[in-house]
Amino acid sequence: MTLTQKSAVVTGSTSGIGLAIARALAREGANVVLNGFGQPDEIERERAGIESEFGVKALYSAADMSKPEAIAGMIAEAEAAFGAVDVLVNNAGIQFVSAIEDFPVEKWDQIIAINLSSAFHAMRAAIPGMKKRGWGRIINTASAHSLVASPFKSAYVSAKHGIAGLTKTAALELATHKITVNCISPGYVWTPLVEKQIPDTMKARGLTKEQVIHDVLLAAQPTKEFVTVDQVAAIAVFLCSDAASQITGTNLSVDGGWTAA
Ligand code: NAD
């Protein structure tokens, strides 16, 4: 148990990678704030399940990560409820697949807001408390697309390259405050985000579903396997541990060798 007496906010944690990270931090003893969209009864089941399984407190915030005031409000709520936000995981993200000339401008703005600017706003709100307490862990879910591009994902690739830069900048600003800032860059993980982009990828590339899965997604990863949500969550737990106190400003890949290739 590395996070007893600590509290964490995980954005975009009602499904996929974020939910696995929230559960893993709770397993280590942290109180957690879940955030994101979904069916209210399913969210409540996850929230209550975390409390009963791990003996911690879990709250749910419906804050929209495209809205700066809502993000600041969520951090303030977490600080009021738990006394602190010690761990901030900026994980909320969406995807949209289209050629640049057809890419809807509002989709571009939405992806930059949710996948990149939300991390800036959440850090802005959480850093003063972390500095006051002299400890903090900020983990940003980037992507293999923070290092390499794919066609038809202009906004996503731009946002993920941006979050890698924001991570390094924040790490330098906070280095003497015992606050580390890192990003994790998964390859393809089978979550709703990946599943939803298959029809548009089929259209953009003129492929069948099986071809998208095998010739686009799995073909990118030399291991030819999807990464699992728990493999990403394990890295988040490690980054919160004392063993990782000198790891800051890095971009840790968990991508089956994708970005080595
Ligand atoms: P997911 O769709 O399962 O989860 C996304 C989460 O973000 C959900 O909880 C959703 O409700 C939430 N969300 C979306 N818009 C939001 C908003 N406006 N405000 C608040 N919450 C919002 O997808 P996932 O694959 O688990 O993605 C999580 C993160 O991992 C994203 O940043 C994504 O870019 C990144 N990532 C995913 C993969 C992958 O292959 N799945 C690979 C690399 C990086």
pLDDT tens, position by position, 200-242:
999 989 999 999 999 999 999 999 999 999 999 999 999 999 9
Give yes or no: 156 in active site: yes
Q: Is 253 in the pocket of ligand 1 (CB under 6 A)?
A: no
Residue 209 lies in a domain: no
| The residue type at 217 | L
Give the pair of three-digit tokens for residue 122.
């959440």
Residue 35 lies in a domain: yes
CATH number at residue 91: 3.40.50.720
Residues of the chain where predicted confidence (pLDDT) is lower than 50 = none
Position 93 scores a pLDDT of 98
For ligand 1, mutation pick of 94, 223, 231 (most atoms within 8 Å of CB): 94
Are 185 and 147 a contacting pair, CB within 8 Å? yes
Q: Is 91 in the pocket of ligand 1 (CB under 6 A)?
A: yes
The DSSP line for the chain is: ---TT-EEEESS-SSHHHHHHHHHHHHTT-EEEEE--S-HHHHHHHHHHHHHHHSS-EEEE---TT-HHHHHHHHHHHHHHHS---EEEE---------GGG--HHHHHHHHIIIIIHHHHHHHHHHHHHHHHT-EEEEEE--GGGTS--TT-HHHHHHHHHHHHHHHHHHHHHGGGTEEEEEEEE--B-SHHHHHHHHHHHHHHT--HHHIIIIIIGGGSTT-SPBPHHHHHHHHHHHHSGGGTT--S-EEEESTTGGG-
Position 164 scores a pLDDT of 98
Residue 32 lies in a domain: yes
Residue 233 lies in a domain: yes
Position 118 scores a pLDDT of 99
- Strands 251-254 and 179-186, how do they pair? parallel
Placement of tokens 């840790």 in the chain: 252
Position 15 scores a pLDDT of 97
Q: What is the domain range of residue 88?
A: 7-189+228-250
Residue 119 lies in a domain: yes
For ligand 1, mutation pick of 46, 116, 117, 193 (most atoms within 8 Å of CB): 193
Give the atom of ligand 1 at the shortest distance from the alpha carbon of 142.
44
Of 232, 163, 240, 242, give the one whose Cα is nearest residue 194.
Answer: 232
- Geometric angle at alpha carbon 131, from 186 and 74, rounded to 5°: 60
Position 77 scores a pLDDT of 98
Give the number of domains in the chain. Answer: 1
* Measured distance CA(135)–CA(156) in Å, rounded: 31
Are 30 and 7 a contacting pair, CB within 8 Å? yes
Residue 72 lies in a domain: yes
* Measured distance CA(221)–CA(234) in Å, rounded: 20
Q: Is 16 in the pocket of ligand 1 (CB under 6 A)?
A: yes
Give the length of the chain.
261
Are 248 and 211 a contacting pair, CB within 8 Å? no
Position 2 scores a pLDDT of 85
Position 87 scores a pLDDT of 98
Residue 185 lies in a domain: yes
Residue 202 lies in a domain: no
pTM for the model: 0.98
Residue 165 main-chain phi, psi, to 5 deg: -70, -40
Give 137's strand partners.
Answer: 87, 180
